[in-house]
Structure 1
Amino acid sequence: MENIRQFWHGACELNPLPTEYESWAAAQKQDFLWNQNILPSTYDKLPPLKKIDVPGLFLTILKIKMERLSDEAPPQWKKAIHAHGSVAKVKFVPTPDTPFTGLFKGADYGLLRLSVTGDPTDRGFAPGLALKLFVDGQPSENVSALVSLSGQGKNYNFFAHEFSNIVPEEKSLGPKFINLIFRRVSKYPRRLYLQRFGELDQNGHKESVPYYPERIFLVPNPKIQFAESPPHDFRHDLATIKLGTLLFSVYGVAPNQGGDDVRNATIDDIEQPAYRQKSQLVGTIETTSEFISSFYGDSRLFFRHQRFDNQ
């Protein structure tokens, strides 16, 4: 951690979450994390991208990743993958006719972290994202999404492909080994659940009949494209994105669209390409700030993985 700290000025100490933090309104939580920790720890010089730390991932207590509700990582937490990225404030803008409940009805306060699994010169360019939407008086809701487990080779355009909370199985050794590591804490490590997004709205009101998609696809805005040719640092690309930019159109597959209930649909069913064809536009993710690369965003900001509930 100290090696990373040298890349930011350190003129302002990081502020731990106050004991009353979870009781705050969504806007206040976003403001605290952004203005008190992310902005003050902005890097003066970007730290070099790290290779995937496979031994470190194996030794990580992955149960924490699945069960910790806080927006801040525990002390001494280290990212074995996705160690470096950039964060922006965002909002989720729903389509007027969305059938989904909870945060799918709209969320004005969120954080989006875009990162790569590791140094692209080592295993190729493998982009990923983590989305956090804040809720008044309740823990935030989080979801992560990938293009694939192996990434997109030498294509350095972060927005070249769609992202999803479910990724297909791959046969190559590296992804298979990482998948096995995550199987220690989840029967379905390639599948993240969206249940909590449908249960509470951004004001903290509980939905009487939650309704949420079993799979989402985040489709990049075709107007935002970067050079495919390496080498260049994706964080420099993200820094050019302006406040008020539509980043992703979000498509969701409703329960029963695949011919089965969300809890009963098999992983093989949901991974089929036909699921993408059955998806419907449910909203967009838009920036409410520029992207920032910071010590806090890389080392302390925490995104929970909601494991699939049908274990």
Structure 2
Amino acid sequence: MSSLVMSLPDGYALLGAEEKLEALWARVSEDPYAEGALPTRVPGPWGRRKLFSTEWNRGSFELSGDELPADRPKLVHTYGACARVTLKITAPHPYTGIFAKGGAALLRFSDAKGGGAFMPSIALKFMVSGKPSQNLLALPNDYREKGDLRCFSSVYCNATVPAKELDSKLVQGAFEKAAKALGGTRLHAVYLPLHHLAGMSADGAAVESAVVPDRVEFHPTEEVKRACPDARDFRVSLGRVPSGIKLFDVRGAAKIDTKAEPMGEVWLESGFVASRYGDERLFFAHDVGPKAATPH
């Protein structure tokens, strides 16, 4: 893939949340691929060897901003499709920060593996006025059937089952080591923490006494399952989903092993766009989690 120049406007980091979303969405949606020319080539085993390096994986946590530097290719989640969405809080719950009020976000569906094995994932980017965005990353919460190419056949969750394949196990271990090297803590290996989201509001105000869900689940609605056709390329399927429908029912659990209860909904506010910018430059930073062990 050829590189794109960094293109967000000067002073982007200091903009208000809504202005940031408008600027980022403009970049994502201005250069869509033609449907018949969707790229499919992903890094091979030699190119992906860096994923086993704790040092390389530190960049996923330490890089700031919403764009990748030109010299850092996406070795996983290489291809995807993005859309504007709104998280609506529809049920009472105790969680704070972004979870308290919800709001507009950028959603990216991507394939975590590529090369014939489809492992869908979702990432939500919530803009924060004058501060870095807050990102929520989620994977299927259970093992998928081999050959399943559907985007909405899985529940997505920040706490998921460990990988079965050796290479994926090694990558997961390297990410966990990178987080620990940066002082973060984990409840278990395949866990993407939510403390940063509960500790920050969209206006940039920090939450003094954050209440954090250990687990958030995204349950696809029957409406979106009907609206998303089966296609051999998930980006084509997503491109057929009309805006204005509910994608997910959202549930939260206070502890990792307790039942998740209803808390909100994710609604689609645009069509899905597969674009070069979304694949080469759009960046969803990982969070290391709390710096000290918290009781659970």
Shorter-chain TM-score tier: 0.7 to 0.9
Residues 131, 82 of structure 1: alpha-carbon distance in 2 compared, 3 angstrom cutoff: same
How much does 1:16 deviate?
Answer: 1.9
Residues 244, 63 of structure 1: alpha-carbon distance in 2 compared, 3 angstrom cutoff: same
- Is 1:163 the counterpart of 2:156? The answer is yes
TM-score (norm 2): 0.85
Counterpart AA for 1:32: A
Mapped to 2, the partners of 1:83 and 1:160 lie a distance apart of: 21
How much does 1:138 deviate?
Answer: 1.4
Note if contact 2:5-2:70 (Cα within 8 Å) is conserved in structure 1: no
Counterpart AA for 1:33: L
Residues 173, 283 of structure 1: alpha-carbon distance in 2 compared, 3 angstrom cutoff: same
- Is 1:50 the counterpart of 2:31? The answer is no
Counterpart AA for 2:266: I
Note if contact 1:155-1:228 (Cα within 8 Å) is conserved in structure 2: no
3-state DSSP class of the match of 1:22? helix
Counterpart AA for 2:209: V
Match of 1:30 in 2: 21
Note if contact 1:156-1:229 (Cα within 8 Å) is conserved in structure 2: no
Residues 194, 15 of structure 1: alpha-carbon distance in 2 compared, 3 angstrom cutoff: same
Q: Which moved more, 1:164-173 or 1:137-146?
A: 164-173
1:183-222 correspondence to structure 2 within 5 Å: 183-187=176-180, 188=186, 189-222=189-222
Mapped to 1, the partners of 2:99 and 2:136 lie a distance apart of: 13
Counterpart AA for 1:302: F
Match of 2:248 in 1: 248
Match of 1:62 in 2: 57
Residues 292, 14 of structure 1: alpha-carbon distance in 2 compared, 3 angstrom cutoff: farther
Q: Which moved more, 1:181-190 or 1:152-161?
A: 181-190
Counterpart AA for 1:55: W
Mapped to 2, the partners of 1:169 and 1:132 lie a distance apart of: 24
Note if contact 1:100-1:198 (Cα within 8 Å) is conserved in structure 2: yes
How much does 1:198 deviate?
Answer: 1.0
Note if contact 2:228-2:238 (Cα within 8 Å) is conserved in structure 1: no
Q: What RMSD over aligned residues (CA atoms) do the two structures have, in Å?
A: 2.6
Match of 1:299 in 2: 280
- Is 1:287 the counterpart of 2:287? The answer is no
3-state DSSP class of the match of 1:58? helix
3-state DSSP class of the match of 1:174? helix
How much does 1:228 deviate?
Answer: 11
3-state DSSP class of the match of 1:223? helix
| Among candidates 62, 69, 74, match of residue 69 of structure 2 | 74
How much does 1:19 deviate?
Answer: 3.6
Match of 1:239 in 2: 239
How much does 1:281 deviate?
Answer: 1.2
3-state DSSP class of the match of 1:251? strand
3-state DSSP class of the match of 1:224? helix
How much does 1:150 deviate?
Answer: 6.2
Q: Deviations over 1:31-60 (max 9, x none)?
A: 11112x112211124433234644333325
- Is 1:40 the counterpart of 2:35? The answer is no
Match of 1:87 in 2: 82
Residues 69, 137 of structure 1: alpha-carbon distance in 2 compared, 3 angstrom cutoff: same
Mapped to 1, the partners of 2:67 and 2:229 lie a distance apart of: 35
Note if contact 2:20-2:127 (Cα within 8 Å) is conserved in structure 1: yes
Q: Deviations over 1:40-82 (max 9, x none)?
A: 2111244332346443333252111112230111122211111
Counterpart AA for 1:289: S
Counterpart AA for 1:84: Y
How much does 1:120 deviate?
Answer: 5.7
Counterpart AA for 2:135: N
Match of 1:266 in 2: none
Calculate percent identity across the aligned residue pairs.
28
- 5+ residue gaps, structure 2, are 181-185
Counterpart AA for 2:241: I
How much does 1:173 deviate?
Answer: 2.1
Mapped to 1, the partners of 2:235 and 2:272 lie a distance apart of: 8
Residues 288, 15 of structure 1: alpha-carbon distance in 2 compared, 3 angstrom cutoff: farther
